[in-house]
Structure 1
Amino acid sequence: MADYGHDPTETVVPYAVFKSAGFSISFATETGKTPECDKKMLTGWTQKLLGANQRTLSLYNSLSSSAEFTQPLAWTSPDFSLDAYQLVFLPGGHEKGVRQVIDSISVHQQLAAYFPQTRKSCGGGKAVAAICHGVLGLSEAKGLDGRSVLYDVRTTALPGAMEQGIFWITRGVLGDYYKTYGAGSESVEAAVRKRLRDPKKQYKNSLSASPFIVTDETYNYVSGRFPPDAQLLAERAIELVKGNLKQGRMRAPISNLPF
């Protein structure tokens, strides 16, 4: 996670689902600083009109006092590695602070090393789940061939129409708050599409308010668009991990899950 700015729903709802499934969870920030989610989604009129619901607020209060959250790992530590984990989850959020993760060379290197292990034919038994801007960060990770790890993968992300729509609706009072890289920057959807081999076939979209996720056929990878998808996304990620265990692809029990 970034030190500040992730969407609270896309963070705490999966956390609660993973905890209920018995997963042991680790958070990671750049230097081990306790992260904070986007306050506009947690307090004030922005929360009431655009942000987290009461369930998320309650879950966030519990999360904020948990040992996992208050004592995160540091992804820049020489000893940090994703290899020990069965599932990597990347939450989203549009606040500009999340660029700390999206633009991090260290995170890109970690993800580039980890993602190939999610290929089902390799039998590595790893899995990745990402939502909203988390997909954008994942798409920035490149292999030795210079291509995104998502080059041959089916995925979704925050739809451009949704991103642009909420930006124009709120720009009079919130400015470019809903544009992570500033007014006039390309949408998350456009940026992710550019990194796919055949975006017309690989990028899956839905403008429905109902939960919508995309599960790839070749990799143990599942993606979502925005907060309403968070619950279903987490449940599907659990299915991927348990499916790997059932098929005997992993010799170790479910142990850790880094955010």
Structure 2
Amino acid sequence: MLRPPRILMILTSSATMGAGGEPTGLWFEELATPFTTFVDAGAAVALASIAGGPAPIDPRSLKPKGENAPSVERFLADAAASAALAATLPLSDTAAEDYDAVFLPGGHGTMWDLPRSDALAGLLGTAWAAGRVVAAVCHGPAGLVRATDGTGAPLVRGRRVTAFSDSEERAVGLAERVPFLLETRLRDLGARYERAADFQPFVLADGRLVTGQNPASSALTARLTLDALAEASR
């Protein structure tokens, strides 16, 4: 790949856990760490969301200034990055063919709108069929549950994947709040689900499909996404 890789990060637009539910949204570090990793590698990164416009941030994922992870502090201090987050592209205005990789950060908001989005399922299917890299971390793999490969089968079927585990969901006290348990759904779709101990870094790369288990996995998920891009360009 002679030009810089182009990466589309697709964020949730769901600000609550269901109608009238408690606040949720994007888990900030799962955006900031991959974003800065990609930028440092010379990639051109675009931010989109299901509805477009400002992406909601899970308030639990932000601390007072100076107390966040370095990637979060850096993102917040970057005027261009903050402006992009405040005015994300509507997913309907994006095309998979314009990007080399699609990356889905997590946050509990993803459990409500990513699986229901026809546009996302279509974009991911098109990206996969076109040989693009597809990556997701933590609850981001919720966006994969309706995506299909070129045969019409679930994209995750028969492939090694990870995501926020059922055990982790119970540990954070939200197993009864989410629309479904992500590990269970992926297994039901035929994925070869694997996991590490709760909240420990764990990432899988099955060819062009890269998935990370939890927030602690975001940095490694980003690095393996770049590795998959390099491999795909050979």
Tell me which interval the TM-score lies in, with the shorter structure as reference length.
0.7 to 0.9
Deviation at 1:133, TM superposition (A): 1.5
State which of 95, 103, 117 in structure 2 corresponds to 1:81: 95
Deviates more, 1:206-215 or 1:57-66: 57-66
Instruction: Tell me the residue number matched to 1:93.
Output: 107
Q: Which structure 1 segments of 5+ residues have no match?
A: 45-51, 118-123, 168-177, 248-259
Q: How does 1:29-40 map to 2 (within 5 A)?
A: 29-40=49-60
Do the aligned partners of 1:63 and 1:69 also contact (CA within 8 Å) in 2? no
Deviation at 1:21, TM superposition (A): 0.3
Instruction: Tell me the residue number matched to 2:186.
Output: 192
SS in 1 for 2:114: helix
Do the aligned partners of 1:13 and 1:59 also contact (CA within 8 Å) in 2? no
Do the aligned partners of 1:27 and 1:72 also contact (CA within 8 Å) in 2? yes
Deviation at 1:242, TM superposition (A): 1.8
Q: Which structure 2 segments of 5+ residues have no match?
A: 1-10, 16-24
Question: Cα RMSD over matched residues?
Answer: 2.5
Instruction: Tell me the residue number matched to 1:232.
Output: 220
Residue 155, structure 1, aligned to residue 161, structure 2: yes
Do the aligned partners of 2:162 and 2:194 also contact (CA within 8 Å) in 1? yes
Matched length: 212
Residue 182, structure 1, aligned to residue 177, structure 2: yes
Instruction: Tell me the residue number matched to 1:71.
Output: 87
Do the aligned partners of 2:26 and 2:56 also contact (CA within 8 Å) in 1? yes
Instruction: Tell me the residue number matched to 1:175.
Output: none
* 1:160-190 CA distance string (max 9 Å, x none): 11111221xxxxxxxxxx34x726x541100
* 1:182 counterpart letter in structure 2: R
Do the aligned partners of 1:89 and 1:129 also contact (CA within 8 Å) in 2? yes
Instruction: Tell me the residue number matched to 1:251.
Output: none
Q: Distance in 1 between matches of 2:188 and 2:164?
A: 14
Q: Distance in 2 between matches of 1:25 and 1:192?
A: 28
TM-score (norm 2): 0.80
Q: Distance in 1 between matches of 2:219 and 2:168?
A: 19
The higher-RCO structure (CA 8 Å, 6+ apart) is: 1
Q: Distance in 1 between matches of 2:38 and 2:107?
A: 19
Greater helix proportion? 1
Q: Distance in 1 between matches of 2:79 and 2:195?
A: 33
Instruction: Tell me the residue number matched to 2:7.
Output: none
TM-score (norm 1): 0.73
* 1:85-123 CA distance string (max 9 Å, x none): 11110011124x652223111111111221233xxxxxx
Greater strand proportion? 2
SS in 2 for 1:83: helix
- Which has the greater radius of gyration? 1
